[in-house]
Amino acid sequence: MQNRRKKAKGNEFGVENKLSSDLVANIDLLKHCFSYGKNNDFSMRVFQAKYNQKDVLLCYYASLVNSDKIEQTIIRPLLEQSGSSLYHVIIPESVKVTSNLNEIQDHMTSGKAIMLMEDDPIAYSIDVSNFEHRGISQSENESVVRGPKEAFTESLRVNISLVRKRVRNHNLMTEVKKVGDRSTQDVQLLYIDNLVNDKLLEEVKEKLDAIKVGNVQNLELLEQYIEDRPYSIFPSIYYTERPDNAAIYLERGHIILLMESSAACLIVPITFWSFIHNPEDRYMRVIFGNFTRGVRFLALFLTTMISAIYVALANFHSQMIPPDLLLAITVTRERVPFPLILEVLIMEVAFELIREAGIRIPNPLGPTIGIVGALILGQAAVEANIISPIIVIVSALSGLTSFAISDPSFNYTVRITRFIFILSAGFFGMYSLVMAFTIWFMYAVSLKSFGIPYFAPLAPIYLSNQDTYFRKAMRKEKWRPGYLLPKDLQSARKDK
Amino acid sequence: MKVDKKLAAFEMFSLTMILIALKLTDTTPSLFAQKAQNAFWYIPLLAFIVILPSLLILLYLLKHYQAKHLINLLEILLGNKLGKAIGFIFLLLNITFISLDSRNYVEQIRNLYFLNSSTLIIFVLFTIICIFGAIRGIEVIGYTAKIFFPFIFISFFLLAFLIYEELVWDRIFPIFGSGLPLIVEESLLKGSIYSDFILLTMGYSAFRKSHDFNTGGLVGLLFAIGVITFFFLIYAVVFDYNSIEKISFPFHEITQYVNLGDFFTNIETFFMVFWLLATFIRFILLLYLLTWLFGAIFNIKHFELLILPMGYLVMVVGLVPDNSVVNELIYRNQLLNLMTPIIMGFPLVLLLIHLFKRKKVEN
């Protein structure tokens, strides 16, 4: 594919793909190639180097480079210093040599300065890039009480450094894959070379190679290009903005994908449990962590099921509700004109609307919507006899507990599931609800993420720490997940 | 990346438990009680002892010949045509049996919770879930069974715990009920309640090792017999011989007896949820195995495509009996009696052929 792309570009300009030793011809070539004059931030400068008295051309995208650095490390040394060769004169840390026009283009667009010299058919590509990005800030979507607070930011270099800071291992590889035919972006694959399964790595690379689009701007889009089932309601790739989380998964033998301009990473392959677990479960003592997990499983049950169970019980199995409670429900429902399932749906939809609006609303207006929402949902709707008070409690419970599922992707799964269950419960009560649940669950169990069963290592079983519903004490964790087929299965020291 | 996705011993254990132990929730106890009266509770145990040698022989032969599944074993031992013919008879018996069995469960759901709905609608829904589940394949069924099993087990255990105050232990006497010969006869005839396990041997190749299948299966069977006997004993001492004959679904009856404290007095729906989960898994598995059996007999490799027509067939056959009483006391009873000698006999025949073949090789 690489070759095809190069060929296509060569034809585009109708010129030779290589540099010649004639500087003037080369300058013309570059001017033509980068639309000099039309393209405002393409800068070019010609001057004479002192050390060999030859003409030098320096060109770069002014918006991508650090001009101070160019001044200090390239131009001034070349103008003022003498020496035997170029490398004795210029200072920058990274200089690459190329003569291929396509490579020059790639280097230019990734923030390098290109230097050509008289009588020389090669170009020096000097790294002086300075992409603007946000500083490192606190993790906003996956906040923890105990544990590191920093999150990835929109700079590849910073993100890699955040990971390397945690994984002090020379086997940590940061391999680059190019994606996109027109605007080529780097996808950085991070893995620990002597842990990761080679076939898995190959599969991920194949998936990246198979992307045939002009531009993949960021990770969020990349995720949708490499996932197995785009229409599934379950996510199969883990998206996290926490570098500590990434480091944990790296050590287990997973692969991390990073991209410039994404403040997060993708982790593959993944299981169902990763979406339920939270890094904080591990930062807290085992009992506290497991207690939180218990609460989270309860939240998962409540958020998906409580409204549906209410519909099923009140409509079909009212004998199960204790008489006093049943009477209370009946009294409050007396004046409500709608059927029960419609009532529940109105409330749930209203909650979803407020939630969506709450995300999109401009910050200064934020508190307003809270008040309006609470008033409409809580007070006014009940007083107007549109809904009964118990529905407010039920849907508030199901809405609130959904926030305990911290993973943003899985959160959507849970919310869609809730509607599926409510509708099915309205059909045949518990019978159809259990039916829907069984089908939903069996679908989830049948899923695979890069060939790994979704519910591993619970079903099917593999040698691992059995970190599923609850986790073990840290010092009893001796294995890496066996389902990843890592090169080294044992994570504890061998002599133990 | 290819990881081993086959099933392990615990999956087999869960599948066997759900497949066999679920009998305690249907009409099997009242079927037994018709003749044996209050002594029906140990019939499953006796019936198991009767059928155990055949099951062991079958497991031994499957392992010895490294057979892929039951039909494969029959083909190895009896030759292609005869093996398939026997398999076909087995298939017919099983289709009828599973159809009547599913009708039995549909009637339970209808009679207990949806009296105003028609059997047809409930049966259609039931078939739909079975088809959807079965299409996911044996591995997914196994995983699901494994994940659900602890919850189902806990709910049954909770039920046994809550019913404790209702038990009158003296009701187990007279210990031989309506007479020992009658009980022994009934036990001999009803060995076929374990015939589902023989169908499960169709899934032999879906397990990682034959050891997983054997251990999981045998431990599962033993546990299942234990649980069945335990629950039958509970029915016997809760209801006594007079009422147990008249109660068609003793399991659901006792879920209506129990309270959880003074506030929650009707918690049968809670137990129904777990019972439904187990029922779905059971029939999903049976439908899958049945289709596999069909596929193996007629050399159809992608038999998963046949799950839909097979599910439809099971439903149609299940709808034939006029009502649940006829279904239960006539068809199902007769079929159970008919199947027992076949289930008991054919592994013995297989063993004889095996021994004969071995002798021939030695000579």
When scoring B269, B276, B281, B284 by the number of chain A Cβ atoms within 10 A, the one with the most, hence best to mutate, is B269
Please say whether the beta carbons of A102 and A10 come within 8 A.
Answer: yes
Widest Cα–Cα separation across chain A: 100
Compute the Cα dihedral for B139, B143, B148, B150 and give only its sign.
positive
Q: What is the pLDDT averaged over residues B311-338?
A: 82
Predicted confidence (pLDDT) at residue B285 exceeds the cutoff of 90: yes
Spatial CA neighbour of B29 closest among B174, B165, B218, B177: B177
Does A150 fall in a domain?
no
A260 and A288 co-located in one domain:
no
Domain count, chain A: 3
Compute the Cα dihedral for A98, A104, A106, A107 and give only its sign.
positive
Q: Looking at residue A16, what is its pLDDT?
A: 62
Query: CB distance from B95 to chain A under 8 Å?
Result: no
A105 and A179 co-located in one domain:
no
Alpha-carbon distance of B221 to B61, in angstroms, equals: 18
Predicted confidence (pLDDT) at residue B339 exceeds the cutoff of 90: no
Please say whether the beta carbons of A195 and A480 come within 8 A.
Answer: yes
Go through the domains of chain B in sequence order and give each one's CATH number.
Answer: 9-355 (1.20.1740.10)
A390–chain B nearest CA distance, Å:
19
Does A133 fall in a domain?
no
At B338, the amino acid letter reads: L
Q: Looking at residue A3, what is its pLDDT?
A: 47
A361 and A306 co-located in one domain:
yes
Contacts of B267 in chain A (CB under 8 A): 320
When scoring A316, A435, A448 by the number of chain B Cβ atoms within 10 A, the one with the most, hence best to mutate, is A435
Contacts of A432 in chain B (CB under 8 A): 125
Does A151 fall in a domain?
no
Closest chain B residue to A481, measured at CA: B3
Instruction: Count other Cβ atoms within 10 Å, centred on residue B170.
Output: 8
Query: CB distance from A481 to chain B under 8 Å?
Result: no
Please say whether the beta carbons of B252 and B108 come within 8 A.
Answer: yes
Query: CB distance from B2 to chain A under 8 Å?
Result: yes
A112 and A160 co-located in one domain:
no
A383 and A243 co-located in one domain:
no
Q: Looking at residue B38, what is its pLDDT?
A: 79
Does A51 fall in a domain?
yes
- The reported pTM is 0.89
Helix, strand or coil, per DSSP, at residue A45? strand
Closest chain B residue to A320, measured at CA: B266
Contacts of B304 in chain A (CB under 8 A): none
Alpha-carbon distance of A38 to A476, in angstroms, equals: 65
Does A470 fall in a domain?
no
**What ipTM is given for this predicted complex?**
0.93
Contacts of A197 in chain B (CB under 8 A): 1
Q: What is the pLDDT averaged over residues B177-198?
A: 83
Q: Which residues pair with A479 in a beta bridge?
A: A490
Tell me: cis bond preceding A235? Omega within 30 of 0 counts: no
When scoring B2, B3, B113, B285 by the number of chain A Cβ atoms within 10 A, the one with the most, hence best to mutate, is B3
Alpha-carbon distance of B124 to A446, in angstroms, equals: 24
- Give residues with Cβ within 8 angstroms of A418, minimum separation 6: A303, A304, A307, A308, A348, A398, A402
Closest chain A residue to B108, measured at CA: A431
Closest chain A residue to B146, measured at CA: A459
Q: Looking at residue A42, what is its pLDDT?
A: 87
Please say whether the beta carbons of A430 and B272 come within 8 A.
Answer: yes
pLDDT in tens, A24-81: 888 888 888 888 888 888 888 888 888 888 888 888 888 888 888 888 888 888 888 8
Six-digit token string for B121 = 């609608």
Query: CB distance from A55 to chain B under 8 Å?
Result: no
Query: Of A410, A432, A449, which residue sits at a domain end?
Result: A449
pLDDT in tens, B77-92: 888 888 899 889 889 9
Full domain range(s) for residue A323: 284-449
A294 and A438 co-located in one domain:
yes
| Closest in B114, B137, B265 to A322, CB measured | B265
A327 and A425 co-located in one domain:
yes
Alpha-carbon distance of A174 to B356, in angstroms, equals: 65
A439 and A292 co-located in one domain:
yes
Contacts of B147 in chain A (CB under 8 A): 441, 445, 455, 458-459
A306 and A354 co-located in one domain:
yes
Please say whether the beta carbons of A385 and A336 come within 8 A.
Answer: yes
Six-digit token string for B322 = 């006029």
A301–chain B nearest CA distance, Å:
14
Q: Looking at residue B359, what is its pLDDT?
A: 87
pLDDT in tens, A446-467: 999 998 999 988 888 888 888 8
Q: What is the pLDDT averaged over residues B354-358?
A: 87
Six-digit token string for A177 = 């894959």
Does A183 fall in a domain?
yes
Measured in degrees and rounded to the nearest 5, phi and psi for residue A91 equal: -105, -25
Instruction: Count other Cβ atoms within 10 Å, centred on residue B36.
Output: 27
A215 and A322 co-located in one domain:
no
Does A216 fall in a domain?
yes
Query: CB distance from B124 to chain A under 8 Å?
Result: no
How big is chain B by its Cα radius of gyration, in Å?
Answer: 20
Query: CB distance from B132 to chain A under 8 Å?
Result: yes
DSSP state of B18: I
Residue whose tokens read 């939180």? A292
Alpha helices in B17-135 (DSSP H): 28-36, 43-64, 70-78, 80-113, 119-135
Ranges of residues in chain A whose predicted pLDDT is under 70: 1-16, 494-496
Contacts of B311 in chain A (CB under 8 A): none
Contacts of A451 in chain B (CB under 8 A): 1-3
A306 and A415 co-located in one domain:
yes
B145–chain A nearest CA distance, Å:
9
- Give residues with Cβ within 8 angstroms of B55, minimum separation 6: B194, B197, B198, B221, B347
Query: CB distance from B141 to chain A under 8 Å?
Result: yes
* B108-112, long-range: CB < 8 A, 24+ apart: B108/B25, B108/B26, B108/B27, B108/B249, B108/B252, B109/A431, B109/B276, B111/B248, B111/B249, B111/B324, B112/B249, B112/B252, B112/B268, B112/B272
Please report, rounded to a whole number, the percentage of residues in chain B having pLDDT higher than 70: 99
Predicted confidence (pLDDT) at residue B278 exceeds the cutoff of 90: yes
- Give residues with Cβ within 8 angstroms of B249, minimum separation 6: B25, B26, B27, B30, B108, B111, B112
Spatial CA neighbour of A128 closest among A185, A73, A186, A178: A73
Query: CB distance from B66 to chain A under 8 Å?
Result: no
**Chain centre distance of CA B184:** 21
Query: CB distance from A20 to chain B under 8 Å?
Result: no
Closest chain A residue to B138, measured at CA: A446
Alpha helices in A447-492 (DSSP H): none
When scoring A442, A445, A447, A449 by the number of chain B Cβ atoms within 10 A, the one with the most, hence best to mutate, is A442
Does A459 fall in a domain?
no
A306–chain B nearest CA distance, Å:
14
Residue whose tokens read 């992707």? A409
Instruction: Count other Cβ atoms within 10 Å, centred on residue A491.
Output: 17
Query: CB distance from B135 to chain A under 8 Å?
Result: no
Please say whether the beta carbons of A416 and B107 come within 8 A.
Answer: no
Alpha-carbon distance of A312 to A301, in angstroms, equals: 15
A257 and A390 co-located in one domain:
no
Alpha helices in chain B (DSSP H): 9-16, 28-36, 43-64, 70-78, 80-113, 119-135, 138-162, 180-189, 195-200, 210-246, 250-257, 268-297, 307-318, 324-325, 333-362
